[in-house]
């Protein structure tokens, strides 16, 4: 009895796993130890002197043109509504698309008939080949990300290039481990009296069907590729529904996957790009279709809760959260404040890991052996944020641009809250992009606890004076339990308080970063080491990347034969 078939598969596809096996094994070693490992270097200089210029040239050539690299057969051409936050001009790219979700689903189902029968080795080999090809397009992806999301160039390059591909490799390795943990067959022999009963058993890891990846507007590649690669690796086919304002970065990734598939004898519709518009969206129609079995989603809590409520679906969500910083004491006040200033300024706070609520005791904090008054701590923090975000060179490079007009309006509305304005938000002068939509962080001192109980997405910071560190811990924990949290920062020189914070936040399923200074920030999550989102509080129900993230994408079905 065969568990997998390989009819119609190009012989080259059979050998790709051997070509990339060492990379998978190295990734598994890193996952086992949770050590630093980067298969794709984050230093852009590692990719050759001409790579950046070549990527920029391809990006410029694509603007205003039809995206012809996709191998899918769409029945319409869709002109996107993507607008560069830096240029304030539309990209005017047209994509092959579908007039209805049913068109995409029909093609995905046809491709599934072949893809689901392939071996894990064939799938992993093909997907690794795709990742190695994507590497050659990191710079075009970076410019596409920059001019759809507003991320500064270096963040666009790192997040959508090497960091995203490392996360995809992480998902591939984890999927391979989960699949290979199941033997293809086994002999089951049980003594019964004077004889033995012998049964030959066969096990199949059966994929669930069509997986839907719903892209977000701020990190379209980084947030989407783990789910995409996990689903494909486990034998599912994927429909990628990008955010209407951030299609281009994912179109590049999908086009490369389709090309690799087609070159190796597979239906390119094994993965499909299904763009829509904000005027005529069909995300819900796709999500509710009974043929959609798996959904990966990043975005607002309201829509995420709707996704989670759909019957008969396996869902992996990352939603909004309220991230806190608990400040109790520190060895180096300046180092702490510089680190936090960078964290709130990076990408203008448009990150799910960005801290929002800063809890500081009114009595001040201990710095070394001295007590620094609350007012002085806040004053120095405000100065650190101001100096960084308005710096002529550092400011534009760190803060980037505001992706969405709604986020920009949220900053203006927040300044009118019943709170004390400690630092007003102002435009950042970007000499390279004078029309860029920008804003420095707005810092407010808040007494009304109700104001801090929701995510204020963007460069909005709340300073919350508390009666003690105990109250700070309680508030951070309650917010994480009620609203969700993806990160938490804490500063203390007391081991007892550190353990208490770790214990209390663990009950809220929230990871804590203690005493970060220098070049390590609360915003960061490293592939092969960090679990991004715990999956245990309202900020999301899944994690990049634990075993549940891949194992729930397939089921094990057994056949048995009497061998007596």
Q: In the numeric block, which tokens belong to residue 509?
A: 């399923």
Q: What is the pLDDT of residues 296-326, one digit of tens each?
A: 999 999 999 999 999 999 999 999 999 999 9
Indicate the pLDDT class of residue 11, thresholds 50, 70 and 90.
Answer: low
Check: CB of residue 246 under 8 Å from CB of residue 299.
no
Q: Is 389 exposed, middle or buried (0-12, 13-18, 19+ CB in 10 A)?
A: buried
Q: In the numeric block, which tokens belong to residue 103?
A: 């068109």
Q: Which of the pair, 228 or 192, is modelled with greater confidence?
A: 228
Q: What is the pLDDT of residue 5?
A: 54
Q: Is the confidence at residue 383, as pLDDT, over 50?
A: yes
Enter the DSSP assignment of 40.
S
Mean pLDDT, rounded, for 409-418: 92
Mean pLDDT, rounded, for 60-68: 97
Mean pLDDT, rounded, for 121-138: 97
Mean pLDDT, rounded, for 390-398: 95
H helix or E strand, kind and range, residue 203? strand 195-207
Q: In the numeric block, which tokens belong to residue 303?
A: 């829509």
Q: Is 27 exposed, middle or buried (0-12, 13-18, 19+ CB in 10 A)?
A: buried
The pTM of this model reads 0.95
Question: Measured between alpha carbons, how far is residue 558 from residues 178, 235, 314, 555 in Å?
Answer: 16, 17, 21, 10
Mean pLDDT computed over every residue of the chain: 95
Check: CB of residue 503 under 8 Å from CB of residue 474.
no
Check: CB of residue 455 under 8 Å from CB of residue 356.
yes
Mean pLDDT, rounded, for 507-519: 96
Q: What percent of the chain is predicted at pLDDT more than 70? A: 98
Tokens 């048995």 correspond to what residue?
560
Mean pLDDT, rounded, for 398-419: 93
Residues facing residue 370 across a β-bridge: 367
Indicate the pLDDT class of residue 2, thresholds 50, 70 and 90.
Answer: low
Counting Cα atoms < 13 Å in the Cβ hemisphere of 255 gives: 15
Domains of the chain: 17-319+542-562 (3.40.605.10), 324-514 (3.40.309.10)
> HEC states along 212-237?
EEECCCCCCCCCCHHHHHHHHHCCCE
Check: CB of residue 195 under 8 Å from CB of residue 56.
no
Q: Is the confidence at residue 7, as pLDDT, over 50?
A: no
**CA–CA separation, 267 vs 112, rounded Å?**
9
**CA–CA separation, 401 vs 145, rounded Å?**
12
**CA–CA separation, 125 vs 131, rounded Å?**
10
Mean pLDDT, rounded, for 343-347: 97
Indicate the pLDDT class of residue 9, thresholds 50, 70 and 90.
Answer: low
Mean pLDDT, rounded, for 285-292: 97
Check: CB of residue 491 under 8 Å from CB of residue 327.
yes
Indicate the pLDDT class of residue 69, thresholds 50, 70 and 90.
Answer: very high
């Amino acid at each position: 009895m065969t568990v997998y078939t390989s009819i119609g598969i190009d012989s080259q596809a059979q050998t790709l796993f051997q070509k990339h096996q060492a990379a998978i094994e190295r990734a598994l070693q890193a996952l086992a130890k949770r050590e630093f490992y980067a298969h794709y270097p984050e230093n852009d200089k590692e990719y050759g002197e001409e790579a950046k210029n070549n990527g920029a040239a391809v990006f410029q050539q694509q603007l205003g043109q039809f995206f012809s690299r996709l191998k899918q057969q769409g029945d319409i051409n869709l002109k996107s509504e993507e607008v560069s936050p830096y240029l304030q001009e539309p990209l005017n790219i047209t994509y092959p698309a579908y007039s209805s979700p049913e068109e995409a689903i029909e093609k995905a189902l046809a491709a599934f008939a072949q893809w689901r029968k392939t071996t894990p080795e064939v799938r992993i080999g093909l997907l690794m080949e795709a990742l190695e090809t994507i590497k050659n397009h990191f710079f075009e992806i970076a410019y596409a990300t920059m001019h759809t999301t507003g991320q500064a160039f270096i963040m666009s390059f790192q997040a959508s290039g090497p960091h995203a591909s490392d996360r995809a490799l992480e998902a591939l390795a984890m999927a391979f481990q989960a699949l290979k943990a199941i033997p293809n067959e086994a002999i089951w022999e049980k003594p019964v009296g004077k004889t033995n009963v012998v049964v030959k058993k066969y096990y199949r890891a059966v994929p669930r069907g069509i997986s839907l990846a719903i892209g977000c507007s701020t990190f379209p590649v980084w947030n989407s590729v783990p789910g995409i690669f996990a689903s494909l690796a486990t034998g599912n086919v994927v429909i990628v529904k990008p955010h209407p304002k951030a299609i281009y970065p994912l179109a590049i990734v999908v086009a490369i996957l389709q090309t690799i598939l087609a070159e190796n004898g597979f239906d390119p519709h094994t993965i499909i790009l299904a763009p829509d518009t904000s005027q005529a969206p069909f995300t819900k129609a796709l999500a509710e279709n009974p043929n959609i079995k798996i959904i990966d989603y990043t975005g607002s809590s309201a829509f995420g809760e709707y996704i989670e409520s759909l019957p008969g679906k396996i869902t992996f969500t990352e939603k909004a959260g309220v991230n806190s910083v608990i400040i109790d004491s520190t060895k180096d006040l300046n180092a702490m404040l510089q680190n936090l200033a960078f964290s709130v300024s990076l990408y203008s706070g448009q990150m799910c890991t960005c801290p929002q609520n800063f809890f500081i005791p009114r009595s001040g904090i201990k710095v070394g052996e001295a007590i620094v008054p609350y007012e002085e701590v806040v004053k120095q923090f405000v100065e650190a944020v101001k100096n960084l975000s308005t710096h002529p060179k550092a400011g534009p490079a760190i803060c980037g641009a505001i992706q969405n007009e709604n986020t920009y309006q949220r900053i203006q509305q927040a300044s009118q809250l019943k709170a004390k304005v400690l630092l007003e938000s102002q435009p950042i002068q970007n000499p390279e992009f004078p029309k860029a939509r920008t804003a420095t962080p707005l810092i407010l001192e808040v007494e009304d606890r109700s104001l801090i109980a929701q995510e204020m997405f963007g460069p909005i910071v709340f300073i919350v004076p508390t009666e003690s560190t105990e109250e700070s811990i309680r508030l951070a924990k309650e917010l994480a339990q009620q609203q969700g949290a993806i990160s938490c920062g804490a500063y203390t020189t007391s081991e007892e308080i550190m353990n208490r914070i770790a214990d209390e936040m663990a009950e809220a399923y929230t990871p804590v970063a203690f005493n970060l200074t220098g070049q390590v920030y609360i915003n960061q999550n490293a592939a092969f080491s960090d679990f991004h989102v715990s999956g245990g509080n309202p900020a999301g129900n899944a994690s990049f990347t634990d075993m549940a993230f891949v194992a729930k994408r397939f089921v094990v079905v057994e056949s048995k034969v009497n061998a007596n």
